Amino acid sequence: MKVTHQGKSRHYRTVWFDKASNRVRLIEQRLLPHKFKVVSTADYRETARAITDMIVRGAGAIGAAAAYGLAQGARAYRRGGLKAFERHLAKVHHTLAEARPTAVDPLNAMHGMLAQMTGDTVAERQQQALTAAEQFAEDDVAHCEALGQHGEQLIHEGARVLTHCNAGWLAFVDVGSATAPMYAAQANGKSFHVFCDETRPRSQGAILTAWELAQQGIAHDIIADNAAGHFMQLGEIDLVITGSDRVLGRTGEVANKIGTYTKAVLAKRHGIPFYVAIPLSTIDWELESGQAIPIEERDEDEVLSAWGVTPSGRRQQMRLANPSSNARNPAFDVTPPELITGIITPLGIFKPRQLWKHRAKLGQAATIC
């Protein structure tokens, strides 16, 4: 996406790889929307920390970051033969896989890479690792563009669309999932309005989605998370589109940012279509129940405090809650298939429980990373 920074407009991807330095380059998302900065990670451990600390976040973006991190770790190996290389690679894989456990994109990305690293020498496998990582990133962009074309038909002229958290360009390598239909609709000349849930506790909707839409020139309002039901009751929301960090292909259950389940319940109550937009790397074909999805629980300080910018421009954390209170901070929840109108994919829109029926087509396409 094009970003206007210091008076200049330039196209950026969320994450990319610098071959010369063996560094992963990332947009520092924690500083947005007040400051735009690109950072780099020196090794796979730093890349994993960037994922854990949410310098980079979002299903496709951390999938690509993990893929580049695996390539980064592979290319840094200098010690010996294939057996030792494989042990080193297993350590790299484990470190990156544990960075944020709920999302399945990093696992799918790295598993696809390992399947392609079949060379007879360490040097061949190192090159294959980078080639496969770059292909995953390209596929992520292509998948998001394709699902945007399928989802665009859902946005009619004058539509009022609600989205939750950030499943935009910043959450993927480019284009985004939930925002892809919006960008396609805008390109086709449609006029519509977006409601951005603030998405506490990290406020990705207010901070990231709103910033993206402002960069793109799409009309939008930020609303408090608890205001969505009010606007639905007033008839001011026509459609809900969210992203996902893991969709179970066997059951159609969807894990996404905490609060997604609440919005799905409200949408069902008010007869509003609720769609989930995903690239194919977000489908988990193995787990058999949403209860088996590992739900990340993050530091309680995210709930008890908030980051902001002072009038002087200094970024500062402020305590909001009662000083003696503790907090619970699950980062995701699981939405059952009966609350979901459809899953928007690069190959079309499917009912949640239809994914398994079409697993040969969807699963095969997802492995071309």
List residues with catalytic annotation.
245
Please state, in angstroms and as integers, the Cα–Cα distance from residue 269 to each residue in 50, 197, 263, following that order: 39, 18, 10
Strands 274-277 and 239-242: parallel
Both tokens of 135, joined, read 């292909």
Residues 6+ apart with CB under 8 A from 207: 32, 33, 166
Per the CB < 8 A criterion, the answer to whether 88 and 73 are in contact is yes
Both tokens of 172, joined, read 């993927």
Closest CA to 218 of 254, 277, 176: 176
